[in-house]
Structure 1
Amino acid sequence: MNERLLTTPVIMGNNSSVTPDSMACSHDDDAFKYRAYTYSYLLLFPVAFLSNVGALAVFFLQRNRRRSASCVVMVNLALSDGSFSLTLPLRLAYYFRGGVWDFPDWLCRVCVFGFYINLYTSILFLTLLSMLRWIAVAQPLRHRSLVTPTRTLLVCVGVWLFVGVSSTPFLSNGVNNRAGFPRCFEPSSPSSWGRVLILNYVALVLGFLLPFLTIIVCYSRLVRRLTADSTIHGGCSGGGQALSGASIARRRNRRRSVQLVSMVTATFLLCFLPYHVIRSLHLHAVCNGWSCAATVALQRATVVTLCLAASNSVVNPLLYYYSTRTFRDNMRDARSSLMSNRRGSMVAMKRRNTT
């Protein structure tokens, strides 16, 4: 279920024991794995770090617009992605060293733990954001009274606690020795794969399938509601300038809602769905003694899909920008405030120099 599944798997029978025949199916695919992770993390780290730190700066600089429930969720999402990006330099150092872990054991555990914290908090925060959008469109009056920033913050804290407690099994195994070198992100022992398969299905159901089904239900109703509204208002288009302005505002709201639907759905389909499907197949190949060719192919596919899953940390900032007008306004306001502060400091320096 974690990155430890991606290195040197040993095929086991249904009794989860390693036989001499299954040892012949062991393989060392470090070259492919290290190249894939190195290139991916080299691209992801600067973009994920800068974009999420920039997003947090925009959110926190604009105090008057921090009081919306959606903004609270997006701040937590940016915190999750930004903290995950801080672990990428450690991963890069490990792969640049050819799979030698020169850092403390607890850092290895934190890196594995951090990946799954980011993965499943991102999924749940995107689900929460989708539910808020649905309530705002379908029941706007109830949204104003029911959905408050304080309640939303409490829900976000609950998400952090739930994912953190559920991911604690990944803290149990740290650095392992293989070929005389300390390794991280590798299997601890063949006997643990059956337990990992069970954990995989728990995460698959609670961390992916239920949120994904929730998003599908919310968005199908949201699209139906937007389509019905456009049909109703499209038949009443002759109401003068005031009605024209109102229809323009409704059209903008519909466009932002459609953008949110499209981007969240694309994130699930491109980042989260392939990883969960391939990870489950790879675990079954290892635990149930599939052919060596199938196991090797699934191992490589798991490496690629894990890189796609990690890329959600750079996709989410695009979600903030393209789906929310408030974030774009915040960026303009933050840029203007920074420019005005810079001009003020330059004027103050000139005055000091002249005096």
Structure 2
Amino acid sequence: MNGHLGLVLNESSASNLSRCFHDDNWFKYRAYTFTYVLLFPVAFITNLCAVTVFTLQRKQRTAPSSVVMMNLAVSDLCFSLTLPLRLVYYFRQGIWDYPDWLCRLCVYGFYLNLYTSILFLTLLSVLRWLAVAQPLRHHTLATPTRILLVCLGIWVFVGGASSFFLAQGVVHRGGVPRCFEPQKPSTWYLVLVLNYVALLFGFLVPFSVIVCSYGFIVRRLTSRPASFSERLKPHPPAPRRGSGGGGGECGRRRSLSLVSAVIVTFLLCFLPYHAARSLHLHAVCGGWGCRAVVTLQRLVVVTLCLAASNSVINPLLYYYCTQSFRDQLSRAGSRISARSRSLH
């Protein structure tokens, strides 16, 4: 097979491969239905609670890390609102009876949430690195206004870069309106190019930044603990509001656990999906055969479910790394319990 990357595949061959994985839709529909039934209530409730808690915090909500986590919670909450539409679609075995613009919005919303989540987690890692390596500069550079502008920049950048998926609306296959499917075989080539752009700037670069930032933090936390504690003493509020761990052995253990949690989140939720998606696109565009296409299609389905599960993992990070978040949530729970008792 000739051409760049061996991707010379005529229209009819691409259509035949498309039919291969359309014939395997039963696996995709069952996997997505099972996953979204579990994800929707948890993602919606936990992220709604997170947005509410961050909004109720008066002093802490202006902390740089709280600004980032608020944006992350909003992103996850918006994504969770698209899950009921996806569920209805898969429950109906791939029949889309809603307006075309809603289909486009659901497709767009997944990629918007995926890459804003990655970049917001990256920004959090940079803020933690700056607080440990340059506490004075962190205090002067990481102001709430500047961090809010950076977050707005992330929204604009990801929103613009993902605008291609607004063009992926309802298509008719077998006389039935479908959503979440490419419009024509030639679209796969453009998606393959966009995949590598997203892979580089939306995953590899952010993940490298996170690994380097947290590698430095782990080294500082595990070596010379006394001098590290001394460096934190002139700025006691920053660890409590920013990374959730103050000085002392307990704070260091919590910070190390948090670092591990974020790295594992990336390795579990984001890495498998990007790897499987790249291989699947090459299989379709490169004409690897029906068996390979269907196998990789199933792998994409499973890893996409893992990527979507990030929307329920992030609230655990808020609870674990932010003392003020836990305090506010505890106070809210106490008020609800008190009102419940008074009603009885």
CA shift for structure 1 position 146: 1.2
Matched, 1:79 2:74: yes
The aligned runs of 1:142-157 (5 Å cut-off) are 142-157=137-152
Give the structure 2 partner of residue 278 of structure 1.
Answer: 276
Distance 1:333 1:192, change over 3 A: same
Task: Describe the superposition over 1:131-157 as per-residue Cα deviations: whole angstroms up to 9, x where unpaired.
Answer: 111111121121111111111111000
Indicate if the aligned counterparts of 2:68 and 2:148 stay in contact, CA closer than 8 A: yes
The aligned runs of 1:112-261 (5 Å cut-off) are 112-230=107-225, 249-261=247-259
Indicate if the aligned counterparts of 1:133 and 1:257 stay in contact, CA closer than 8 A: no
Indicate if the aligned counterparts of 1:52 and 1:79 stay in contact, CA closer than 8 A: yes
Indicate if the aligned counterparts of 2:14 and 2:185 stay in contact, CA closer than 8 A: no
In terms of mean alpha carbon deviation, does 260-269 or 80-89 score higher? 260-269
SS in 1 for 2:172: strand
Indicate if the aligned counterparts of 1:99 and 1:183 stay in contact, CA closer than 8 A: yes
* Alignment partners' CA distance in 2, 1:148 and 1:137: 16
Distance 1:283 1:20, change over 3 A: closer
Distance 1:21 1:306, change over 3 A: closer
CA shift for structure 1 position 24: 7.2
SS in 2 for 1:135: helix
TM-score normalized by the length of structure 2: 0.88
Matched, 1:56 2:54: no
| Superposition RMSD in Å | 2.3
Query: Residue type of the partner of 1:15?
Result: V
CA shift for structure 1 position 38: 0.4
Matched, 1:16 2:3: no
CA shift for structure 1 position 14: 2.4
CA shift for structure 1 position 338: 5.0
CA shift for structure 1 position 25: 7.9
* Alignment partners' CA distance in 2, 1:162 and 1:273: 21
CA shift for structure 1 position 233: 7.3
Matched, 1:101 2:96: yes
SS in 1 for 2:278: helix
Q: Matched residues, percent identical? A: 62
Query: Residue type of the partner of 1:182?
Result: P
Query: Residue type of the partner of 2:155?
Result: W
Distance 1:329 1:20, change over 3 A: closer
In our comparison, the structure showing a higher alpha carbon Rg is: 1
SS in 1 for 2:177: strand
Distance 1:339 1:148, change over 3 A: farther
Distance 1:184 1:225, change over 3 A: same
Matched, 1:330 2:328: yes
Give the structure 2 partner of residue 353 of structure 1.
Answer: none
CA shift for structure 1 position 337: 4.9
CA shift for structure 1 position 292: 2.0
Task: Describe the superposition over 1:172-220 as per-residue Cα deviations: whole angstroms up to 9, x where unpaired.
Answer: 1200000110000011001111111000000000100000000010011
Aligned length: 322
* Alignment partners' CA distance in 2, 1:288 and 1:21: 9
Unaligned runs of at least 5 residues, structure 2? 1-5, 230-245
Indicate if the aligned counterparts of 2:14 and 2:284 stay in contact, CA closer than 8 A: no
Distance 1:88 1:233, change over 3 A: closer
* Alignment partners' CA distance in 2, 1:22 and 1:179: 13
* Alignment partners' CA distance in 2, 1:21 and 1:110: 26
SS in 2 for 1:86: helix
Indicate if the aligned counterparts of 1:219 and 1:261 stay in contact, CA closer than 8 A: yes
* Alignment partners' CA distance in 2, 1:21 and 1:172: 20
* Alignment partners' CA distance in 2, 1:100 and 1:22: 20
SS in 1 for 2:93: coil
